[in-house]
Amino acid sequence: MKSMILFLFATLLFSACNKADNVASTDTDFKTLQQVVLNDFANNVALSSYLKLSVAAANLHSAVQALNNTANDDNL
C-alpha cells in the first residue's frame, strides 16, 4: 500500500513538471515588447492615477476658494 501511494505521489509530482504549451513567443523583438509594456503602463496605471490626482486637486482648489471667501469653521 505504501509503494502504491509513493508511486501515485511520484506520478503526480512528475506530471506537474510539464512545460506549458502556451508559452509566449520569443519572436517578439525588444522594441516591440518595450512599446507594449509602456502602452500598458500608460493606459492602465498612469492615466488612472493622474485622473484621480486631477480630481483631488480640483476638490482642494474648491475648498481653498471657499475658505478664502468665507473663513469659518465649516470651510476650514
- CA–CA distance, 39 with 36 (Å, rounded to integer): 5
pLDDT digits (tens, 9 = 90+) for 25-73: 566 789 999 999 999 999 999 999 999 999 999 999 999 999 999 989 8
Q: What is the mean pLDDT of residues 7-27?
A: 61
Q: Are 1 and 9 in contact (CB under 8 A)?
A: no
Please indicate, yes or no, whether the overall pTM of this predicted structure exceeds 0.85. no
**Residue 17 in this model has a pLDDT that exceeds 90:** no
Q: Is the pLDDT of residue 6 over 70?
A: no
Question: First-to-last CA distance in the chain?
Answer: 76
Q: Could you tell me how many helices (H) and strands (E) the chain has, helices first?
A: 3, 0
26: DSSP letter: S
Task: Classify each residue of 30-43 as buried b or exposed e, where b means 16 or more C-beta atoms within 10 Å of its C-beta.
Answer: eeeeeeeeeeeeee
- pLDDT tens-digit profile of 21-38? 555 556 678 999 999 999
